[in-house]
Structure 1
Amino acid sequence: MSGAASTTTPGAPIPDFKQVMGHPRPLWMLFMTEFWERFAFYGMRWALALYIVAQFYHGDSAGEAPASRLYGAYLALVYAAALFGGYVADRVLGYQRSILLGAVVMAAGLFMITVPSEQVFKLGLATVIAGNGLFKPNISTMVGKLYSPEDGRRDSGFTLFYMGINAGAFIAPILTGWLAERMFGGSPDMPAYKVVFIASGIGMIVSLVWFWFGRRQLQGIGRPLEEATGGQGDKRKVLYVLAGVLVSIPVIYSLLAIDASKLQWILSALFVGLCVLILREGFSEGAVQRDKAIAMLIIFVFNVLFWMFFEQAGSSFNFLAQNIVDRDFSGWIFPVGWFQSVNSLAIITLAPVIAWIWVRMGRANPSIPRKFGLGIIFNGLAFLLLMFALTKLVSPAGLIPFWTLFMVYVIQSVGELCLSPIGLSMVTKLAPVRLVGFGMGGWFLSTAIGNNLSGIFASHVSGETGMNVQSALSGYTFGFWVLVGSGAFLFLIAPLIQRLMHGVK
């Protein structure tokens, strides 16, 4: 997020950091801080919907639909909160204090959701959302501040940091899933989900402690402007922001408590208002900037569709794995949560391959709109595999083979690599110069809308009585046609969008 109160003055020299493995030493501190934060986030994410059904609906499959809607709303608000967290870091606290405060709040929320009360559970989720909003956007910003804009290692540094994200996301479901089945009386049939949340809370504390002791390496980067330049910062601002966070938690709680369709209207209204501001600024800057703004907003619409169907991992795909996928390997049951690690493993494995393919294609490298179209189509192909499995591969016991859901995650990961890495870069190139922050806001909001819709879609896949082969087939068939149809349409209109982008690649 951009803002007037940047933590370093324009053109200020980058501190002379000690170099470790060819990069500034603080990069590795931020790498591990993010690793443990992502461990906490993804460690609890896989269990949320399953826990809601087990704890608050006593295992009745009729709870799958409301659990999916709450899960979608939770993810949506996580992304929406990032807008306000970036603003607070830019204008009020600086990045270091925002990260520390966010870590404390997020850890508190993770321990709160272990309380077996639906009201306290939702209040804990609201607390996690508020803390994540302060933490997540700002830790990424800190990485960029370690390098000058001309430093050729900048992209490599972000790539290493991205590996930290995926490493944490890969390990977390495996470890927390194992703990849930082996500790405190847990079993494959009834995991001890509270252990998952406790382990995630501990991971968040590790992230907090790691950054607390490691932040000295940053040599003032990320502190409020007056402190970074030798003055005394106003530490009372921390208390003011904390008070604001405490006030925001009941507001977030109320948004989680309302029907997902009403939340969708609220998010959509915010998105429309943001689009109006971007378009007005684009028109005021002339025809070229107007066209770029229009192109960016068109891409945002397709981004909504991608995440609406991609983010089934913590909701309908979990119920699919639990109820319809054959996870029995000669008496050993593959844990449901371990499927969540497939995406991260595929990203780590395939990202260099996809990057090499783009370079190898040279001038034939697809345009940004066509890469987005390919991402959506690959997402659709994952649903096509599910359609095939649910019609042709169902066993007499009503189960589909393990490999089908595994490959669904792999195929979706290919789609993610075609779409997600270029999204933020696209925004910085197409948004009006004075509203790049609002452009980023549009990207986050479009993702949030897609996540909320993912919960609504997952609730329809489960239906009123819980997921079965027929309800899954009906829902995933719908997903296939929407994705492939919209992806093909975007692929066809890509030349028009590319013209609107005026040479941006």
Structure 2
Amino acid sequence: MSQTLDAGAGDVPDYPQLLGHPRPLWMLFMTEFWERFAFYSVSWALALYIVAQFYHGDAAGQGWASSIFGAYTALIYATGIFGGWVADKLIGYQRSILLGAAVMAAGLFTIMLPDRQMLLLGLALVIVGDGLFKPNISSMVGQLYGRDDPRRDRGFTLFYMGINAGAFVAPLLTGWMASYFTSTPLEQNYKLVFAAAGVGMLLSLLWFWFGRRSLRGVGRPAAGSENRLRVVWVLIGVVMAVPLVYLLLSRIGAAGLQWLLGLLFVGVATMLVVEALRHDRIQLDRVIAMLIIFAFNVLFWMFYFQLGTSFNFLAENLVDRQMFGGWVFPVGWFQSVSPLAILLLAPPLTVIWGALARRGLEPSIPRKFGLGLVFNGLGFLGLMYGLSRLLDVHGLIPFWPLALCYVLQTAGELCLSPIGLSMVTKLAPPRLVGLSMGGWFLSLAVGGNLSGLLAGRISGESGMTAASALSGFTFSFWLLAGAGVLLLLIAPLINRLMHGVR
């Protein structure tokens, strides 16, 4: 089957149905569940581990930890561009996913070694592996449906539940392991977190390996590209890419990386526009609409990714986590609030979107994105209130403003992120769906790196204070709210560019 058909532009196999969707969707659901378990285990612990292991708990380490987390997050998503291209042009989606999973697992176990260089090497392996894995498994969800199948958006929302089921379980289990599993110092307990992440990634690899036959050839290499020697060449490329990513993490710095990501974004946009020009004006307009949405997506994730840095430092140092009976709420558990809210809200939201669609009232893609930005901003408004009005004599705010921020950000995420994945598969040029999905993740990369720069600015040289947090979160609210309102105002223009795609 050609890559064009794989991308969902033509016919798809007549899959058996389960709960109203193609049965392979649920195999991809669980593959993604375990990969996200691994990813979010590292995400909540990484910055805290760096401060504990390499700065002996000194808050002065928050700046470097934020920079590394931001660069790691950025490169995780930026490498998706190359992973999408590898799948589109060289080895197909299935082989890319399997190779990426194996490389990621190796990196997760390497992070356990208590050395800065090995930490960065392990992160480099995870980054390169995830670049092969993440955009391609998301692209495969779109390939299970015809381009005009009305279930596509709802299928992506269900798939997004798999992402967030893994994200929910990861901080609960590994946060407990880090806090209570042993009596060793905290930096030692974090190594158990990384070990659990490695096991989760191996489970993801095995799940896809045994379940891929249900795809009935979808995601296999394009005709003429079946030669397994191509996999060897891609593996050689991986071996060459890892030292490069290591140097980006260790040498170039967050500011330099931002310039590199910006140039990369321009390059991807140019390739998509050139490909669209080979089709017709409608395809060009759709690519332009997609790129506008990408720009607003950068802002959303710049502030959302504070969860791994400034929100963690806030929770650790400025939030009263004392609960009933003297029990202290683990820092990592805050990051289970958002995926729990998604698991609870995604099914009714799917029903609501479907009901509105039947009445012709479902919000368009740009309007959903605008709502996502506004909800994200409202989360920071809650933190502003807590930091300006609710500080106690110990300099701590109550538990609920941070928890509420996660819930409101979740509402915004549900309006935006699963819809964005579906949008790419509907607006992208048929021959470059994988590259387009890589472009989507590149917009997350730019936002992720900016998140590290912002978190570092909030922490400053001596660590986060209530005053610095209030200043940073106030800036966050006004920028998000303004961007959301602007997008809602220009939504009709973007809708015209999309030529009927909703």
Same fold (TM over 0.5): yes
CA deviation digits over 1:277-327, x for unaligned, max 9? 444555676655554443332222211111111111111101111011111
Alignment of 1:251 with 2:249, yes or no, is: no
Q: Deviations over 1:141-195 (max 9, x none)?
A: 34444556677765555444332221111111100011111223257x7671111
Distance, in Å, in 2 between the alignment partners of 1:366 and 1:12 is 28
Q: Judging changes above 3 Å, is the alpha-carbon distance between structure 1 residues 270 and 124 closer, same or farther for their aligned structure 2 residues?
A: same
Alpha-carbon separation, structure 2, partners of 1:12 and 1:282: 22
- Deviations 1:187-229, CA, capped at 9 Å, x for gaps: 7x767111100111111122222333333444544333569xx
- Segment of structure 1 superposing worse, 101-110 or 439-448: 439-448
Q: Is 1:385 matched up with 2:382? A: yes
Identity among equivalent pairs (%):
61
The 1:27–1:496 alpha-carbon spacing in structure 2 relative to 1, beyond 3 Å, is closer
Alignment of 1:320 onto 2:314: yes
Aligned to 1:340: 335
Q: Distance in 2 between matches of 1:11 and 1:423?
A: 21
- Partner residue in 1 for 2:56: 58
- Which residue does the alignment assign to 2:229? 236
SS across alignment from 1:317: helix
Whole-angstrom CA distance in 2 between matches of 1:373 and 1:484 = 9
Tell whether the 8 Å contact from 1:7 to 1:90 is kept in structure 2 after alignment.
no
Q: Which of 287, 291, 297 matches 1:297? A: 291
Q: 1:204 to 1:251 in 2, by over 3 A?
A: same
Query: Measured at CA, do residues 96 and 296 of structure 1 come closer, stay the same or move farther in structure 2, by a change above 3 Å?
Result: closer
The count of aligned residue pairs is: 498
Contact in 2 for aligned 1:377/1:488 (Cα 8 Å): yes
- Pick from 407, 417, 420: which aligns with 2:417? 420
Matching residue of 1:81: 79
TM-align CA RMSD: 2.9
Higher alpha-carbon deviation: 109-118 or 214-223: 214-223
- Say if 1:210 and 1:277 are closer, same or farther in 2 by CA, change over 3 A: closer
- Tell me whether 1:106 sits opposite 2:70 in the alignment: no
Counterpart of 1:182 in structure 2 is: 180
Tell whether 2:358 aligns with 1:353.
no
1:199 counterpart residue number: 196
Report the AA paired with residue 100 of structure 1.
L
Partner in structure 1 of residue 30 of structure 2:
32
Query: 2:2·2:223 contact (CA, 8 Å) conserved in 1?
Result: no
**1:351 maps to amino acid:** A
Contact 2:141 2:156 in 1 (8 A): yes
Per-residue deviation, residues 57-99 of structure 1 (Å, max 9, x unmatched): 2211011111111111111111111122222223322333222
Is the alpha carbon distance of 1:462 and 1:498 closer, same or farther for their aligned partners in structure 2, counting shifts above 3 Å? same
**For residue 117 of structure 1, what is the aligned residue in structure 2?**
115
The amino acid that maps onto 2:42 is M
Q: Could you tell me which of 447, 451, 455 is aligned with 2:452?
A: 455
Q: Secondary structure at the match of 2:191?
A: helix
**Stretch of structure 1 that moved more, 449-458 or 201-210:** 201-210
Please tell me whether residue 307 in structure 1 is matched to residue 301 in structure 2.
yes
| Separation in structure 2 between the aligned mates of residue 359 and residue 12 of structure 1, nearest angstrom | 24
1:422-465: CA deviation from partner (whole Å, max 9, x where unpaired): 22333344445665555434322222101110110111111110
- 2:43 aligns to what? 45
1:221-247 CA-to-partner distances (Å, cap 9, x unmatched) read: 4333569xxxx9533333222111111
Pairing partner for 1:223 from 220, 245, 257: 220
Q: What TM-score do the two structures reach when normalised by structure 2?
A: 0.90
Q: Is the 8 A contact 2:63 2:456 kept in 1?
A: yes
Structure 2's unaligned 5+ residue stretches are none
In the alignment, the residues of structure 2 paired with residue 108 and residue 364 of structure 1 have an alpha-carbon distance, to the nearest angstrom, of: 48
SS at match of 1:311: helix
For 1:451 and 1:6, how far apart are their aligned partners in 2? Answer: 32
| In 2, Cα distance between equivalents of 1:268 and 1:3 | 32
Greater relative CO (CA pairs within 8 A, separation 6+): 2
* Paired amino acid for 1:345: L
Q: Is the 8 A contact 1:102 1:130 kept in 2?
A: yes
Give the Å deviation of 1:413.
0.7
Alpha-carbon deviations, 1:82-125, whole Å to 9, x = none? 12222222332233322222111111100100111101100100
Farther-moved stretch of structure 1 (449-458 vs 207-216): 207-216
For residues 128-207 of structure 1, the aligned pairs below 5 Å read: 128-146=126-144, 157-186=155-184, 192-207=189-204
**Is the 1:324–1:400 Cα contact (8 Å) retained in structure 2?**
yes
CA distance in 2, matches of 1:167, 1:371: 23
Instruction: Tell me the SS of whatever aligns to 1:312.
Output: helix
* Equivalent-residue separation in structure 2 for 1:233 and 1:434 (angstroms): 18
For 2:491, give the aligned amino acid: A
Of the structure 1 ranges 261-270 and 75-84, higher mean CA displacement relative to structure 2 is found in 75-84
1:26/1:278 CA distance change after superposition, 3 Å: closer
Alignment-derived partner of residue 395 in structure 1: 392
Decide which moves more: 385-394 or 75-84.
Answer: 75-84
Unaligned runs of 5+ in 1: none
Query: Among 256, 261, 265, which residue is 1:267 paired with?
Result: 261
Letter paired with 1:346: A
SS of alignment partner, residue 308 of structure 2: coil
Give the structure-1-normalised TM-score.
0.89
Q: Find the aligned partners of 1:407 and 1:315 in 2 and give their Cα distance.
A: 17
Q: Which amino acid aligns with 1:408?
A: C
Residue type of the partner of 1:14? Answer: P
Q: Distance in 2 between matches of 1:434 and 1:22?
A: 28
Distance 1:326 1:21 in 2: 43
- Give 1:5 shift: 8.1
Q: Is the 8 Å Cα contact of residues 15 and 219 (structure 1) preserved in structure 2?
A: no
Contact 1:75–1:452, Cα closer than 8 Å, also in 2: yes
Aligned mates of 1:291, 1:218 — CA distance in 2? 32
